């Protein structure tokens, strides 16, 4: 794996860099061939809380995990690697179920290995509710106000300017984000 490690409000020392690379290299055992994509890692400190964000682009999917509520950077790194391992195991199980007869994405992940656990039945992905509604054309500010009024963390709307379906969402830092079609 190639690592792109950067810091926000923190100096990335050699010790931190080595620890991140050592911990993330544990993920190599889940893949048939070494990953050629670049692993993006952002270490940050905000109000004495140490955080880490890791993004790993893969063929057909993106692995992403973050941990931002710990007072120790090394503990945050350990927790984010555990999250990534769970995501890989879950993704591998999904692929094995869905593409059992095909060899396409399955070849990305190792078949053997005692570290890979099968999902329990209660981890099944299931849609439990479906909603249908008409999208009202509005601007981004009105969409944010609507989202806040109904108390949700996201809101789907028809953008009055672009005539496209957009999503506004509340970020973990309290600010807002906008997702547009490309």
User: Is residue 32 located within the same domain as residue 102?
Assistant: yes
Q: How many domains does the chain have?
A: 2
Mean pLDDT across the chain, nearest whole number? 82
Residue 105 or residue 70, greater confidence? 70
Rounded CA separation 39/55 (Å):
6
User: What's the domain range around 150?
Assistant: 137-179
What is the arithmetic mean of pLDDT over 115-120?
44
Q: What percent of the chain has pLDDT over 70?
A: 82
- Domain assignment present for 70: yes
Determine contact, residues 43/12, Cβ cutoff 8 Å: yes
Give the pLDDT score at 98: 64
Collect all residues with Cβ–Cβ distance below 8 Å to 142 and sequence separation of at least 6: 157
Instruction: Give, as one character, the DSSP assignment of residue 28.
Output: G
The terminus-to-terminus CA distance of the chain in angstroms comes to: 29
This prediction's pTM:
0.58
Q: Using CA atoms, how far apart are residues 17 and 24, in angstroms rounded to an integer?
A: 11
User: Following DSSP, what letter does each residue of 81-114 receive, concatenated?
Assistant: HHHHHHHHHHHHHHHHHHTSS--TGGGGB-S--T
**Which of 25, 65, 72 minimizes the C-alpha distance to 42?**
65
141-167 pLDDT, tens digit each: 999 988 887 778 999 999 999 999 999
Taking alpha carbons only, the member of 170, 118, 126, 113 closest to residue 144 is 170
pLDDT recorded at residue 154: 92
The model's confidence at residue 52, banded by pLDDT at 50, 70 and 90, is very high
Q: Kindly tell me if the per-residue pLDDT of 168 is higher than 50.
A: yes
Which tens digit of pLDDT belongs to each residue from 5-47? Answer: 999 989 999 999 999 999 998 888 887 777 778 899 999 998 8
| Burial tier of 41 (Cβ tally within 10 Å: 0-12, 13-18, 19+) | buried
Of 19-23, 59-63, 69-73, minimum mean pLDDT range: 59-63
What is the pLDDT at residue 156? 92
Same domain membership, residue 158 and residue 87: no
pLDDT of 118 strictly over 70:
no
Up-side HSE of residue 178: CA atoms within 13 Å toward CB?
A: 15
Same domain, 63 and 146: no
Q: Determine the pLDDT at residue 119.
A: 43
CATH number for the domain spanning 47: value is: 3.30.160.100
């Amino acid at each position: 794996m190639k690592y792109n490690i950067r810091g926000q409000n923190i100096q990335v020392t050699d010790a931190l860099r080595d620890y991140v690379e050592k911990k993330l290299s544990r993920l190599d055992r889940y893949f048939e061939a070494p990953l050629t994509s670049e692993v993006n890692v952002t270490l940050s400190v905000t109000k004495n809380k140490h955080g880490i964000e890791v993004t790993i682009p893969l063929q057909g999917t993106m692995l992403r995990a973050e941990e931002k509520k710990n007072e120790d950077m090394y503990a945050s790194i350990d927790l984010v690697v555990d999250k990534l391992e769970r995501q890989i195991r879950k993704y591998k199980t999904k692929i094995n179920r869905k593409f059992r007869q095909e060899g396409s994405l399955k070849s990305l992940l190792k078949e053997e290995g005692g570290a890979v656990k099968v999902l329990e039945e209660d981890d099944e992905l299931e849609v439990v509710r479906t909603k249908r509604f008409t999208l009202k054309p509005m601007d981004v500010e009105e969409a944010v106000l609507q989202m806040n009024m109904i108390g949700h963390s996201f809101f789907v709307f028809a953008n009055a300017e672009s005539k496209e379906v957009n999503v506004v969402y509340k970020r973990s830092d309290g600010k807002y984000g906008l997702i547009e079609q490309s």
